Amino acid sequence: MASTKQVLAALGDDEQSFSVESLGQTWHIGLPDQVVIGEFEEWLEDEARNALERRRGRITLDTYQAEGARLDAASAGGDYAWGGPMFTAVLAKTRGSSKLLALLLGVRHQGMTVEKAKEILVGNPEGVRRAYRSALYTADPLLFSPLASEAEKGETTTDQNLPSGNGSICTNA
């Protein structure tokens, strides 16, 4: 029977493949499992619902209900699912990248927080994004082939002209 290390190496997930240097340390990015996927999907939809709630006092009840219905429809349609349109959109923002990075790093680094992941991301944005995109591609080559292509070319998504902090990720934002 193959060891875990041999299985990971066969998948391309050895220490070097998904490792990144940042903040003077080597960080190991894990492959997304069902727990990571579920947590990220839940966070993504919660972010959209929280953004709508923050606007509740500034919009009419009709608008609130209509936007809530659109959010429900988008959720039912898979917009907030792993690999869906909102998944891809949120990865273009530091907030979304930091959340995903925290979950992927948490596979190998217990107690990882979003704040620490953001520090790691800011410390080496190109290296981090290249490593996690490679991990995503390894986990699901068909779904993430555009991400892997960007990683191979050394391209990165920038946060130019994106809202900072609690930017809305509603479908109509």
pLDDT, tens digit (0-9, with 9 covering 90-100), for 120-172: 999 999 999 889 888 888 888 777 765 544 444 444 433 332 223 333 333 33
Output the pLDDT for position 13.
43
Domain membership flag for residue 113: yes
Domain membership flag for residue 6: no
Output the pLDDT for position 160.
35
Domain membership flag for residue 162: no
Output the pLDDT for position 146.
53
Total tally of structural domains belonging to the chain: 1
Domain membership flag for residue 5: no
Counting every residue written for the chain, the total comes to 173
**Is the predicted pLDDT of residue 88 greater than 90, yes or no?**
no
- CB contact at 8 A, 74 and 86: yes
**Is the predicted pLDDT of residue 85 greater than 80, yes or no?**
yes
Domain membership flag for residue 87: yes
Residue 18 confidence class, pLDDT cut points 50, 70, 90: confident
What domain range includes position 87?
15-153
pTM over 0.75: no
Classify burial at 76, counting beta carbons within 10 Å of its beta carbon; exposed 0-12, middle 13-18, buried 19 or more. Answer: exposed
**Is the predicted pLDDT of residue 42 greater than 50, yes or no?**
yes
Domain membership flag for residue 135: yes
Domain membership flag for residue 76: yes
Domain membership flag for residue 7: no
Output the pLDDT for position 103.
95
> Residues 95-124: pLDDT tens digits?
999 999 999 999 889 999 999 999 999 999
- Identify the H or E element spanning 21: strand 19-22
Who wins on pLDDT, 85 or 164? 85
**Is the predicted pLDDT of residue 173 greater than 60, yes or no?**
no
CA neighbor of 164 nearest in space, from 92, 93, 101, 116: 93
